[in-house]
A and B are shown apart, each in its own frame.
Chain A
Amino acid sequence: MSAWGGGAGRQRGPRDRLFLAAVFVLLFWAVVYPNLVVLAGSLRGDAGLTTRHYAAFFGTASELRALWSSVWISALTVMFSALIGVPLALLFARYEFPGRRLLGALAAMPVLLPPLVGVIAILFLYGESGIATRLVQDFLGLESPPWRLHGAGAILAVHAYSMYVYFYLFTLAGLARLDPAVFEAAASLGAGRIRTFGRVTLPLLTPTLAGASLLTFMTSMASFSAPYVLGGGFRVMTTQIFNSKLQGEMGMAMVETVMLAAVSLMVLWPLSRWEGSREYVSPGKGAAPQRLPVKSRWAAVGVPAAAGFGVFLLILPHLTLLLVSLVPDGSWTVQTLPPRYSLENYAQLFSELRTFRPIVNSLLMASAATFIAVAFALAVGQLVVRWRVPGRRLLEAMLAVPWALPGTVLAVALATTFSVSQPWAGRFVLVGTAWILVMAYALRVLPLTGRAVLAGYRQLDPSFEEAAASLGAGRWRTLRRVTIPALLPAIAAGASLAFVTGLGEFVASIVLYTHRTRPISIEILAQLRDFDLGAAAAYGVLLMVLVAGAFTLAQRWIQGERAKAS
């Protein structure tokens, strides 16, 4: 084997090889193997190999329609999300007006809502007996609700609402990376605003927009909560898989799983190559980005007002959730707005073991998953970036694989693989334990956490570690005393993402939970089924607060570390 580079050019001993092998095998076992089991399962009949399930899939119009629905819903989600997120980002990044900072921060609020919570918040607001629905109905004096939150349109609306944030945040970050002088250069060459936007701003943002499109498309393909709660008869691939599994049609469920993964991968490959192909980073930044003051008197009032109203609409679901959580059980029937408010629901949440249990479950499982994901990300970072081991591209690719696999696919793969005991084949019975949920959560967040930690690794100056080595620090001491502390901001970013995702996870949970291991999201669903809206909303608010807390803590901490470093 050729010498491994990097890391102060040290020789790698047998222990290092063992470490590499262990990471490799574990990743393969957790990430790739379950998918292979599903692939094999989709081809297995009662009597050996068969294409019977595939034939059934392609022979059923409703199956093909569901697949096609997944694709077009996702494409439209990308479009609508971009139409909301990009203009918002441009508004807040390029113009100066009163309230810009506050409104700009509020515009990212939908990230605080885990998918299922977002769906129910919107349900409380615009559903058949939602607050906005009732207000409009009363105002217009209608017999029946003015609209129905139902089917493809409803799914699209919820998707656009929860995913425009990707475009918003990506575009803000993309603009921050550009040298603001290029816009001035365009102006000095006679280009007006529209021409500057079309010829300069937009082309420079294409890699950024490709990245946001990719993320939005994959998230939408994987989306389960919105179609599950709002779809009604309208089926997409994720709900299809869930139903097949529920009805015990495992062969069909596996074919559907394979098809959804295949289509997702088909989109992922070309788009991700395009994303990586061009990246425009400004050479040494000039002045801080100049924000244009809003000039005319009309715009000076209109722009903040419009921005304020837009942002108000965006945080209306949060407010609704809060409102509903304060409504005592059974007190709100036909009135437009709830007649009574109390903290009853919250008190109940924490006073009964039955209602408190999901909170503990979610916190524990999300923490465990975060720990595992960060550990794997660090191990892969060390191997790929520092030691530059052979096969590093494969290792890195394995970290990213779960990204292409919707949560439902992952859950089905895990449920299938770990429902039998075949220790010689690396299969154990994990179904029914909390570990399978932890594993699902960890795998789901592995791509994002891995990305954050690897980016941190790549920014590390290698001479850091060389300096430690020259001072006589051994490899593990260097890792513990120098590398990991320097990586803390990246770890905080990756860990907060992992924790937050695990906390609100619903898609994989609904396939894998038992009564004992049920997380908050499943409990929310149960409360909704019991028509205890207040309790469901209280759980929702609790999640929202926990998510906000995790993000704020991580952010504070990252900024603190940065301040210390500079």
Chain B
Amino acid sequence: MGAFLELDRLTRVFAGSPAVRELSLAVGEHEIVTLLGPSGCGKTTTLRMVAGFEIPDSGRVVLDGRDVTRVPPQKRGFGMVFQHYALFPHMSVRANVAFGLETVGLSRVEIERRAARALELVRLPGTGDRSIGSLSGGQQQRVALARALAPEPQVLLLDEPLSNLDATLREQTRRELRALVKEIGITTIYVTHDQEEAFDLSDRIAVMREGRLEQSGPAEDLYHRPATEFVATFLGRAGAVEGLVGEVHDDGLISCRLAEGVIWKAQAARGSELAEAGMKLRLLARPEALAFARPGSDGALRGTVRETRFAGSVYLYTVTVGHGELEVQAVAEQARPGDLVGVVPSSAPAGLFAFPAGAERQTG
């Protein structure tokens, strides 16, 4: 898919501290890309540069081959849904939705028609005369979406649009949102700090950290082949132990020596420089990729159960091992805190990732 919207080395510095650094991201036409990252990592700033509310200190925003970096927001034709919706409280629902249509030079009738259609699209037909204050949070969110979509923008930008809804409504709404956006086929950038939301909604996720892009790709890619330790721990759960490189294989796998006689095969992090035997590494393991074994059995890492948690369908155990802490997932209750256990990989190398030790600190 060719890039329809391209963020090219965007940088924005506030009072000496960079909020976004050299961020590049290509969004294909009709694609939904989510910017995901912890609070304060620069998601909103990035989105606002795309929308035109912030001028980047360096870098470009390119739409369909045209540089729009300095085009003011009102000329850019991007639709935006704000976190608190920013609906015009003095206007009716219809007037809100029609607002963006009025500048285009349409006839009254046509404006009415399109506003009504936009309201139908978000399943709020017949609410045109209501006042904004009389709507529920979920309805307001949908009016905000209708308002952004009514002028048929080329790009839709959403900044945590669901964060003000309660949990149940949020889950339902994000499915509907995806269905709707896909139906229209609009190129979308979605901002959230909620990984479940990102998984549910996006074609592709771009994980951000401290103003930088850590990794972008489909959710499965990020989950199963994280490029950095940060991505591995931010998306899904992972425990970590330290070890040494045993052997480097051609197929991108690494044998990791975690203790005397304990060697696990793991995927080498993308582009990592774990090239020689004897280098220090950190092994990250997904809980579902580990299982219990008798302590002392072949290839089992010895440890002590520190904590057990019942998480609905499964149990999660935190196990303290020599140089780290692992999490093990099991379907039945298998151990108690204080128990001496052995831990083995259940489907190596899936869910096991080897990173150079110390890399965590370098990126920070």
Contact = CB atoms under 8 A, between A and B. Distances in A.
Contacts of B148: 188-189
14 contacts: A179-B86, A184-B86, A187-B53, A188-B73, A188-B76, A188-B78, A189-B99, A190-B75, A191-B99, A191-B100, A191-B103, A192-B74, A203-B91, A284-B84
A156 B157 CA distance: 51
Contact of A189 (B83, B151, B157): B151
Given A188-B80, A190-B77, A181 B86 contact: yes
Contact of B89 (A186, A188, A199, A280): A280
Contacts, number: 85
A282 interface: yes
A562 interface: no
Contact of A181 (B77, B79, B84): B84
Interface string B108-151: 00000000000000000000000000000000000000011001
B332 interface: no
A476 to B, nearest CB: 41
A1 to B, nearest CB: 37
A128 B147 CA distance: 60
Nearest to A279: B89
Query: Top 6 closest A-B pairs, CB basis?
Result: A189-B100, A181-B86, A185-B86, A190-B103, A188-B80, A187-B73
Contacts of B82: 181, 184-185, 286
A207 to B, nearest CB: 10
B88 interface: yes
B154 to A, nearest CB: 12
Interface of A: 179, 181-182, 184-192, 195, 199-200, 203-204, 206, 278, 280, 282-287, 290
- Categorize the interface residue count of chain B: 20 to 34
A287 B53 CA distance: 13
B79 A199 contact: no
A206 B90 CA distance: 10
Contacts of B44: 287
Contacts of A184: 51, 53, 73, 80, 82, 86
A185 B89 CA distance: 12
A285 B83 CA distance: 10
B74 A188 contact: yes
Interface of B: 44, 51-53, 72-80, 82-91, 99-100, 103-104, 147-148, 151, 157, 164
Contacts of B78: 188
A290 B48 CA distance: 12
Identify which of A186, A188, A280 gathers the most chain B CB atoms within 10 Å of its CB.
A188
B88 A200 contact: yes
B80 A185 contact: yes
B53 A290 contact: yes
Given A204-B90, A280-B89, A284-B164, A190 B84 contact: no
Contacts of A204: 88-90
Contacts of B88: 182, 185-186, 199-200, 203-204
Contact of A182 (B74, B86, B151): B86
A173 B157 CA distance: 30
Contact of B72 (A181, A187, A284, A287): A187
Identify which of B73, B89, B147, B151 gathers the most chain A CB atoms within 10 Å of its CB.
B89
Identify which of B74, B85, B104 gathers the most chain A CB atoms within 10 Å of its CB.
B74
A190 B90 contact: no
Contact of B84 (A179, A188, A195, A203): A179
